[in-house]
Structure 1
């Protein structure tokens, strides 16, 4: 079971924490507001009220043992920077920090945070990608180079098997799941035949995914 810690329980932090818990992950949430912690306690694994977050407290909570820590206190720049820096110095495996603006994002990047999130910018980019690339239903950037996208297969793909399409060789993308209605086929077999109504979750270089909109098979 993967484990995550979320520091700061605003709208963003709550959404991340409760979704991870729903997906079967162990989730620790930390916030200075006791009422907020009480309101989310039944929706996560552990919920802790901490008025002053320092290195000793983070160590006592076993923060280094979590697979990733999400710093969701983007509205308080100084607190966000301080907590992110402490996590970095404590050797946390993977740190995701929410930024409140471009300057905040640059500062977080400078101190070596693994992933910096600007929610409005990131959502805007996802919407733009789905508008420009008509086959793309949804789009998630994993890094500057790689993304996951949910796509509608071009008509030329329908009634062809994955092995015949050979998407890995021809387009440098991998199909990680296929969704049709309520059915989800994770890691589909090579002989799977694409059907009308299928939605493919693919992973690959962002440029390769974007190029699918211009490609015919």
Structure 2
């Protein structure tokens, strides 16, 4: 059975989610108070409706509790976002993901029971800052406030050495979980795997350890 998603709020963030889920073949109900936005997605998603999700009777009429996952992507109206999340929780929705506008909003959402809180503007800012500050960091995904997964380009400083020779885990407390090499991805590489110039290392670990590795080993 296909998973069923409901996306509330069809701005840039919610609209992007709708498009991607639909392209992947998922059943998507798109909801917004703005009729023009709803009409824009009418031919993209499975169903698109104009509705005020701060009204519990409206949510019930949409059968919202039957959806596997509801994403609250309401734009600037923090009150509507909070009220919608509370009602979804009370109606027994299985999984609720909510977009936060700021840190205070994020704290409130966590307290009222949102399963996942995303902060796209802040997270994208952090991601871009990491990429701008380093010649080696190609991509950055925050796992928590202190841990990340990072794509790092291998340079001449480590090319030609095996993982066991570099002993990165023991020296820096980070793990190379995969290596991208041309069109190949080497998952859980063996200790004898030799790094080649141009390899992209998928590294997981504490931010401070990743930063230390990058500066001491890869710094040119």
Could you say what secondary structure the match of 1:157 adopts?
Answer: coil
Which residue does 1:74 correspond to in 2?
A: 75
In 2: Cα distance, 1:99 partner to 1:187 partner: 34
In 2: Cα distance, 1:3 partner to 1:209 partner: 38
Question: Could you tell me whether the CA contact under 8 Å between 1:175 and 1:187 is conserved in 2?
Answer: no
1:37-186 matches, within 5 Å, as 37-44=38-45, 46-53=46-53, 54-55=55-56, 58=59, 61=63, 63=65, 65-66=67-68, 68-162=69-163, 164-181=165-182, 183-185=183-185
TM-score where L is the length of structure 2: 0.74
Residue 14 of structure 2 corresponds to residue 13 of structure 1:
yes
In 1: Cα distance, 2:118 partner to 2:207 partner: 18
In 1: Cα distance, 2:177 partner to 2:26 partner: 20
With 144-153 and 106-115 compared, the bigger mean Cα shift is at: 106-115
Question: Could you tell me whether the CA contact under 8 Å between 2:32 and 2:52 is conserved in 1?
Answer: no
Cα deviation for residue 167 of structure 1 reads 4.3
Instruction: Sort the Cα spacing of 1:57 and 1:150 in 2 relative to 1 into closer, same or farther, 3 A.
Output: farther
In 1: Cα distance, 2:138 partner to 2:198 partner: 12
Could you say what secondary structure the match of 2:157 adopts?
Answer: helix
Q: Mind listing any 5+ residue stretches in structure 2 that lack a counterpart?
A: none
Count of residues in Structure 1 that have an aligned counterpart in Structure 2: 214
Question: Could you tell me whether the CA contact under 8 Å between 2:174 and 2:209 is conserved in 1?
Answer: yes
1:73-101: CA deviation from partner (whole Å, max 9, x where unpaired): 03111111111222333444543322333
Superposition CA RMSD, Å: 3.4
Structure whose CA Rg is larger? 2
In 2: Cα distance, 1:110 partner to 1:122 partner: 21
In 1: Cα distance, 2:24 partner to 2:170 partner: 32
Instruction: Sort the Cα spacing of 1:48 and 1:151 in 2 relative to 1 into closer, same or farther, 3 A.
Output: same
Question: Could you tell me whether the CA contact under 8 Å between 2:7 and 2:71 is conserved in 1?
Answer: yes
Question: Could you tell me whether the CA contact under 8 Å between 1:64 and 1:90 is conserved in 2?
Answer: no
Cα deviation for residue 216 of structure 1 reads 2.5
Instruction: Sort the Cα spacing of 1:194 and 1:116 in 2 relative to 1 into closer, same or farther, 3 A.
Output: same
In 2: Cα distance, 1:166 partner to 1:24 partner: 43
Could you say what secondary structure the match of 2:52 adopts?
Answer: coil
Could you say what secondary structure the match of 1:18 adopts?
Answer: helix
Question: Could you tell me whether the CA contact under 8 Å between 2:177 and 2:202 is conserved in 1?
Answer: yes
Q: Mind listing any 5+ residue stretches in structure 1 that lack a counterpart?
A: none
TM-score where L is the length of structure 1: 0.75
Instruction: Sort the Cα spacing of 1:97 and 1:150 in 2 relative to 1 into closer, same or farther, 3 A.
Output: same
